[in-house]
Structure 1
Amino acid sequence: MTAETANPVGRPRSFDKDQALDAAMHVFWTYGYEGASLTALTEAMGINRPSLYATFGDKKSLFSKVLDRYTEGPISYVVNAIDQPTARAFAEDLLIGAADSATGADTPHSCLFLQSVSTPDPEADSIQQEVVRRRNIGNKLIIQRLIRAKREGDLPSDCNPADLGRFLISVMRGLAVLAADGASRAELHRTVQTALSIWPK
């Protein structure tokens, strides 16, 4: 057996890092950071603890990698929506994306960024700060897109882009809460259209 084909101790031969991260994301998304035990994580990922530590680091490091994957996957709609030609189309893409992400067929009906620190523990302060930091990055992207829209004449002169952005962010978070409470995707889509009915003319 060569070095290239040797199987690392403690790691299953079928181990796939991306699949393991997806499994860990599902656990964190379901139970939050504090509620996701190492036992639940390793069972879902199909690896043992030594393999988890060797590949992903400790629980906090794993969670950070999960947040990266969540940003690049389920909530990539935020970045994708920026390319829409109008602010109104951007807002609709953003809200529909939030509704769809929160009601996935194979994922928990909620938002990982909200679920992960919904009941913060003093020991999880650094985790909460990291999640808030990442949320703020997304918030900034949204407001910057609306500032650009106003500069281009795509929003009325009396419209405040920051206030409009915070409105969209509030609706996005509300959609995740409604999904967690059992609202269907169709119901969330109707909520999106209601929110957009007050779009500045």
Structure 2
Amino acid sequence: MPRGRPRQFDESAALDTALRLFWRHGYEGTPISTLARAMELTVPSLYNAFGNKESLFMKAVEHYDRYSEGLYEEAFAKTSAREVARGILMGEVDLVSGKGTPEGCLMIQGALATSPESEAVQQAMAKLRRQAEADVAARFEQFQEAGQLPSGWNAKALAGYVITVATGMAVQAKSGAWRRELIDVADMAMKIWPEEREG
């Protein structure tokens, strides 16, 4: 019988395992042998199932949406820019503070520190981060067009501010910051938010 994936191979569970390893140790900090062992696959079986390590990482990033996508959907449903921003920051606290997930953020520690050989991974992560910021800016622009942001407040800049704070909290979480400390950061960040006007 030819070797390949086990007959009871659960791709979703295997991807979740790989995701958590990449999330905790980063792309280059996670050897293919460690991935295969944790996923209960041989290295050849892993390659057969997912392609190379870069391909597995990209599939794991897609799997990451189950953790991060709901954060933005819930926040974007809020009825003011202030509440959208607070929803994103508090959602980020939940995501990065180790509540059932590794500390930190996959988008940050997964690929910020990579060698030239891993440039494609770094560029892919940068593109995803830019897309997240663009999505937040688009939501803020809706409030701006409705006259709910003070004159002179720029939707794109506000989006950059929120994503920058969220990114910083992810770094702090990876460095050992407690959940309460991250909440305090989010609360402080919201103190500069402008008073909003009714549309």
**TM norm. shorter chain > 0.5:** yes
Q: Which amino acid aligns with 1:73?
A: R
1:48 maps to which residue? Answer: 42
2:77 maps to which residue? Answer: 83
User: What are the equivalent positions in structure 2 for 1:102-113 lying under 5 Å apart?
Assistant: 102-113=96-107
Q: Could you state the TM-score of these two structures normalised by the residue count of structure 1? A: 0.91
Report the identity percentage: 37
**Runs of 5+ consecutive residues of structure 2 not aligned to the other structure:** none
Q: Could you state the TM-score of these two structures normalised by the residue count of structure 2? A: 0.92
User: What are the equivalent positions in structure 2 for 1:115-194 lying under 5 Å apart?
Assistant: 115-194=109-188
Whether the 8 Å contact between 1:139 and 1:165 is mirrored in structure 2 is: yes
Whether the 8 Å contact between 1:10 and 1:47 is mirrored in structure 2 is: no
1:37 maps to which residue? Answer: 31
Q: Distance in 2 between matches of 1:64 and 1:101?
A: 19
1:4 maps to which residue? Answer: none
- The root-mean-square deviation of aligned C-alpha atoms, in Å, is 1.6
**Runs of 5+ consecutive residues of structure 1 not aligned to the other structure:** 1-6
2:54 maps to which residue? Answer: 60
Secondary structure of 2:28's aligned partner: helix
1:3 maps to which residue? Answer: none
Secondary structure of 1:119's aligned partner: coil
Q: Distance in 1 between matches of 2:43 and 2:74?
A: 36
Runs of 4+ in 1 over 6 A off after TM superposition: none
Whether the 8 Å contact between 1:42 and 1:48 is mirrored in structure 2 is: yes
Whether the 8 Å contact between 2:4 and 2:48 is mirrored in structure 1 is: no
Q: Distance in 1 between matches of 2:187 and 2:58?
A: 34
Q: 1:12 aligns with which of 6, 13, 28?
A: 6
Provide closer, same or farther for how the CA distance between residues 84 and 8 of structure 1 changes in structure 2, counting only shifts above 3 A. Answer: farther
1:73 maps to which residue? Answer: 66
Whether the 8 Å contact between 1:25 and 1:66 is mirrored in structure 2 is: yes
Q: Distance in 2 between matches of 1:39 and 1:169?
A: 34
Q: Distance in 1 between matches of 2:38 and 2:189?
A: 38
Q: Distance in 1 between matches of 2:91 and 2:158?
A: 18
- The one-character-per-residue Cα deviations of 1:82-112 (angstroms, maximum 9, x if unpaired) are 1211111111110011111001233221111
Secondary structure of 1:34's aligned partner: coil
Q: Distance in 2 between matches of 1:82 and 1:8?
A: 49
Secondary structure of 1:107's aligned partner: coil
Q: Which amino acid aligns with 1:151?
A: E
